Structure 1
């Protein structure tokens, strides 16, 4: 029986330095998965940096732009960091992604590597759950000019960097003044990012189906300054209100040396990331497993 997905792109830890030990360790896993995909009737291509870093040859090689144009499915092997980068870059193409966890936590790469031979076949033949994860579109404006423009799947974080003092921020939502805040920083998180830095800062977990964002302060000076959930249709503006050092992070991307008066504008992106999960998948199962809920509790 042929796979529903004719051409599948295999994408690994593409950020690994070529020839490095991580790339060498990833090669056997990627080679096993590639051979398995072929046995399921899929035409396999390998993302170019994955092929270089892992030393994986014998398959056609495409860059991410070509994968977005030509492939029916992306199979991402690694951890959540790998999936974040790939998800942002392939979101505009609409290519669905399946994640095989060959990293650590694995909120988004939810298929254990040791289980791919049993979990993947039904998915490749159409038995899967699909969900869409929203993205944020963030820009940094300096004296009215855009100096940085990017997408984020997890969060946008403005923080004090290496400065010993707090950063001072002016926060607006949909053009309405919210507050001037003194804190170590401020997080705007999507539901995907609500289990990342925002959770550590005391923010709530948002189910991915909720069209909302978390606005969470980091160690605020005023303790009544609490996390708040906003509509993802809102536009959030954060203005640097002092001359202290401030840095902005957009998932894994950083912009250092923000200036007094710089404005970080965050809106919902028109693009979203398509994730495919095994049939019967539940977000609550993921939370229970990854956050170790119910440990030590015996069910009756």
Structure 2
């Protein structure tokens, strides 16, 4: 039976972040998955960094833009960080992504590595649920000029410096003044990011179907500064009024050092990341399993 996805790109978590060395077992896992894909009649390519760092040869090595132009689906083996990284790069191509969890929590890489063949087989032949997640477009403006521009799937975070005190931030929504906040920082999170840093800072979890964002202050000086849920059609502007060594982080990977008077603009991107899940996938099942909620009831 011919698979719906004929050309599959394999993207892996291939090294320890601290040492840069190949993670034990990662090469074996990737080779096992590649062999399975071939057995299903798929053409297999490896993302170029995955191929280089794992040392796997025998498959075409493609850069992310080449994957977007040539491949029908990306199969991500790792944790949510791996998925966030490739998701931002492939969103403009509309390439769907399937996640096999080799990390810890795995909110969006949700297929267990054990017995992945059983789950993947029907998905490759068209039995799946599709889940679209809009990206955030973030910019840093300095004296009216854009000095930094990045996409984020989880969040945009304005943080104080590691050795400095609180920052003061002026917050506007659609050009309307909201508040001056003194805090350790401020998070603008998507529904995808609402289960990440925003959750640990006291924010609510947003269902991924909600077209919204949540603004979550980090350790605010005034305790009445609470999280706010906004429409993602809004534009949020955050100005650094005071504070040393502050920074803007986009999914905690892209970073811009801020100066007093800098403005961080946050708006909905034109691009979405397409996640594919096994048939019958449910967001609440994921929350219950990953957050270890009481599983009583029918």
Shorter-chain TM-score bucket reads: over 0.9
Deviations 1:101-148 (A, max 9, x none): 011110010001112110000000000000100100000000111110
For 1:188, the equivalent position in structure 2 comes to 188
Check conservation: 1:247, 1:254, Cα contact below 8 A: no
For 1:95, the equivalent position in structure 2 comes to 95
Q: Which runs of 5+ in 1 are unaligned?
A: none
Deviations 1:162-204 (A, max 9, x none): 1331100000000000000000100000000000000011100
CA distance change for structure 1 residues 226 and 16 in 2, over 3 Å: closer, same or farther? Answer: same
Aligned residue-pair number:
298
Check conservation: 1:167, 1:245, Cα contact below 8 A: no
Check conservation: 1:76, 1:97, Cα contact below 8 A: yes
For 1:177, the equivalent position in structure 2 comes to 177
**Residue 241 of structure 1: SS of its match in structure 2?**
strand
CA distance change for structure 1 residues 184 and 243 in 2, over 3 Å: closer, same or farther? Answer: closer
How far did residue 245 of structure 1 move? 2.5
CA distance change for structure 1 residues 197 and 32 in 2, over 3 Å: closer, same or farther? Answer: same
CA distance change for structure 1 residues 256 and 138 in 2, over 3 Å: closer, same or farther? Answer: closer
Q: Which runs of 4+ in 1 moved over 2 A?
A: 14-17, 19-25, 252-257
Q: Which runs of 5+ in 2 are unaligned?
A: none
Counterpart-to-counterpart distance in 2, 1:156 and 1:134:
14
Residue 41 (structure 1) aligned with residue 41 (structure 2): yes
Check conservation: 2:11, 2:76, Cα contact below 8 A: yes
Counterpart-to-counterpart distance in 1, 2:260 and 2:165:
15
Counterpart-to-counterpart distance in 2, 1:21 and 1:244:
35
Residue 274 (structure 1) aligned with residue 280 (structure 2): no
Check conservation: 2:216, 2:227, Cα contact below 8 A: yes
For 1:69, the equivalent position in structure 2 comes to 69
TM-score (norm 1): 0.96
Check conservation: 1:140, 1:147, Cα contact below 8 A: yes
